[in-house]
Structure 1
Amino acid sequence: MRVDHSRAPAAFAGDIEAFLGYMSLERGLSANTISSYRRDLDQAAHFLALGKVADWRAVSAADAAGWVHSLSAAKYTVASLARKLSALRMLARFLVREKLRDDDFTALLTGPKPSRKMPGTLSEGEVARLLAAASGGQPRDLRDRALLELFYSSGLRVSELAGLTLQQIDLQQGFLRVFGKGSKERVVPVGGRACEALTTYLVSGRPHLVRPHTGSQFFLNHRGRGLSRVALWMIVKASAQRAGLTRKVKPHALRHSFATHLLTGGADLRAIQEMLGHASISTTQIYTAVEPQRLLDHHAKFHPRKRG
C-alpha cells in the first residue's frame, strides 16, 4: 500500500518549505515542478516518521534506502522512482549546503534510470491532414487552426503554448519569445503558414472571443479566458479524429514531429536543441533515432563503399 501523500509531519515540514522556497526563488523551477517535489518529499517524510526517524537531521543512508525500496515494492514506474529519488537527493544537498547536516545521506543511493522512450511522431502527411482538419470560419475554428499551425511550426511545450500572450509574438518578424523551464527565455522562429493562420485569428477570430475581463492571453476560450492545457489537449484530439487518424494523438506529438521533421530535413541538432529549449543536447539526441531509414538512405547514397 502506498504511503499517504498529505503534508509532511511538522518535524520535517519546515525544512521542506525552506528547500522548496530556495528551488523556486534561486533556481527558478516551475510551479508544477515544485508541486511534484513537495508531494515526493511529503511522502518520504511520512515514511521516515513511521520508522521513528525524528527529522531530516536524523535520516541515515539506510533510512533513505528503505524508502526507495518501499517505492519499488509499491510498483511505481521507473520515471516516478527516478523523480522521487532526485527530489530527495536535492533536499539532502540543500541541507548540507545550509549546514543543517554534515553529510549527504543520499550519496550512496542508487535508483533506476528512466528508459529513453522514443517520442511519438506523426508523418508529414499525417500532420498535413491534422492541420487541414481544423477548418471553418467561426472564431473557434480560426483559433484551432492557428493553434495547431503554431504548435507544429514552433515545437512549443503544451504549457508554453497555453500560456502564450500577445506580447510574446512578433508576426512581422516571424518569431516569438517564450519562457520555458527554469524561466529561461528563448526566441523561436514561426513559419510563414503559421504566421498567416495567427494573423487571421487575430483579425477575424480573437476579437469575437474577447470579454470585458479578458487579459493578454493569446488563445482564448468561449468565456474570454486563456485556454488551459486540458482544453488544448481536447482540441488536438478532436482535430485528429476529424482527420481520420486512427492512432491516439497526444499534444506532444506535434512538438516531437516538429523536431523530427527538422532533423530529417537536415537541420543542425544544436539549432533544434535551442528551439525546443532543451538544457542538454543529450535530450535532443533522442530524435536522431527516430528516422533510422533516413540514415540508411544517406549511407547508401553517399558512402564510397556503397553497393554497386
Structure 2
Amino acid sequence: MNLRLAVDGYLRHLAVERGYSQQTVRAYRSDLAQFERFAAARGVTGTDELSLDLFRDWLWEGAQQELAKATLARRSAAVRGFSGWNAQSSDVAGAAPGAADPAARLRAPKADKHLPRVITRAQIDSLLDGLAARAEDGDPGAIRDVVVIELLYAAGIRVSELTGLDVDDVDVERLTLRVVGKGDKERVVPFGVPALRAVGRYLAVARPALATERSGPALLLGARGGRLGTRAVYQLVASLLVDLPGGGPAGPHTLRHTAATHLLDGGADLRAVQEILGHASLGTTQIYTHVSSERLKETYRIAHPRA
C-alpha cells in the first residue's frame, strides 16, 4: 500500500476507533508526515518497503539535529504505533494480518526527566491582580482573560479542555466543570469562588458582547465571536509569564503544574489530585510530589541558618 494512504488510514483509526483527541491526532500527523518525507527522500513510498533500519535512520537524523530526547521518544512512539497497526491491518496489500512489524524492536532514548515549572502563590496572586486591573473598565476581552487564567489554575485543566468548554459545562451551583480530556474521557472538576466570580461577570457582561451567530454553545469566545482557540490561550499565558523569574516553559501547562503542586503543598491526597488532573496513571501524578519536595528543600536552604 502507498505509505501516505496507510498513514491516513492509521490516523482515522486513532480518531474514530481509538477515540484519540484532535490534538493528539494532530501531533501524530505531524511526526508521521516528517517520516513520510524522510522515507520518500530515500525512495521508499510503499509500506512493503518499510524496515527497521529506515526507522532507526530517521531517529538518528533527529538525534544529529540535536532534537530533545522527549521529541525522539515521541517520534519513536508514533512510528511504532503506525507500523504495528499496519502489520495487523487486513487491508494491507500483499500482507496478511499479523505480518512482521519492522518497528517492533525500535527503541528511542528515554526522555530527560525535568521537573515541571511551577510558579509561586504570590506570583499567581500578582498575575491575577494585574488581569483584574485590566478588566476594570469592562473590556470584554480582558474580562474573558481573567476567566481563562482563573480556570486554568483553579481547576488544573489542560488548554484543550478549557477551550472545549460549553456554557452548560459550568455548574455554578456545585462549582464544577464537566471537561472532556484525553481519549474523550469525561470528568468533573471542582473550581473555587474567585473563579466563580470571574465566570459570573464574564457570562453577564463579556460573553454577550463577544457573541455572534457563530458562537454556538462555546463558553470562551474570541474577538470574532467564535470559540477561543488554544493558540490564543498560549499567547496570553506566555505574555503573562515571560517576565516572571525562573526558566522553563511559559505556556498554559505551567498553570496546570502549579495547580497540582499547590494542591499537594496544601495537603491534598495524591489520588484526589490524580482524579482532578485526569491522569490515567498515578505515576504521572507523582512527579508533583517531587516538585513539592524540591520546593521544600529550596525553602529550607534559603531560610535555615545552618542549611
Fold agreement, TM-score > 0.5: yes
Query: How far apart, in 1, do the equivalents of 2:286 and 2:77 lie?
Result: 22
Q: Which of 91, 109, 112 is matched with 2:109 structurally?
A: 112
CA distance, structure 2, for counterparts of residue 111 and residue 171 of structure 1? 46
Contact kept, 8 Å, 1:134 with 1:239, in 2: the verdict is: no
Distance in structure 2 (CA, Å) of the matches to 1:237 and 1:207: 27
Give yes or no for contact 1:153–1:190 (8 Å, CA) kept in 2: yes
Partner of 2:160: 159
CA apart distance, 1:52: 4.1
CA-to-aligned-CA distance 1:65-120 (integer Å, 9 cap, x gap): 22222222233221221111111111121122224462121122221111122111
Task: Please state how far the C-alpha of 1:17 moved relative to its aligned partner.
Answer: 1.5
Distance in structure 2 (CA, Å) of the matches to 1:133 and 1:119? 24
Structure 1: gaps spanning 5 or more residues: 1-9, 298-308
Q: Which amino acid aligns with 1:66?
A: D
Deviation at 1:140, TM superposition (A): 2.8
Q: Equivalences for 1:191-270 in 2 at 5 Å?
A: 191-240=192-241, 245-246=244-245, 249-270=250-271
Helix, strand or coil at the partner of 1:134:
helix
Q: Measured at CA, do residues 292 and 165 of structure 1 come closer, stay the same or move farther in structure 2, by a change above 3 Å?
A: same
TM-score normalised to structure 2 length: 0.84
Aligned residue runs from structure 1 range 272-283, under 5 A: 272-283=273-284
Alpha-carbon distance in 2 for matches of 1:59, 1:234: 40
Q: Which residue is equivalent to 1:46?
A: 37
Q: What residue is the counterpart of 1:303 in the other structure? A: none
- After TM superposition, the runs of 4+ consecutive aligned structure 1 residues lying more than 4 A away are 237-241, 246-249, 293-297
Task: After TM superposition, give the deviation of residue 129 of structure 1 in Å.
Answer: 0.8
* Deviations, residues 223-256 of structure 1 (Å, cap 9, x unaligned): 2222222222333345457xx7455743222111
**Paired position in structure 2 for 1:78:** 69
User: Matched residues in 1 for 2:45 and 2:162: separation?
Assistant: 44
**CA root-mean-square deviation:** 2.4
How far the C-alpha of 1:165 sits from its partner, in A, is 1.2
| Corresponding residue SS for 2:178 | strand
Change (3 A) 1:172 1:92: same
Aligned residues: 287
What residue identity is the alignment partner of 2:104?
A
Match of 1:97 among 77, 88, 92: 88
Distance 2:6 2:217 in 1: 37
TM-score, L = length of structure 1: 0.84
Deviation for aligned residue 1:53:
4.0
Instruction: Give, in whole Å, the separation in 2 of the partners of 1:15 and 1:106.
Output: 15
Helix, strand or coil at the partner of 2:86: helix
Corresponding residue to 2:12 among 5, 14, 21: 21
1:144 maps to a residue whose letter is D
User: Letter of the aligned partner of 2:79 in structure 1?
Assistant: L
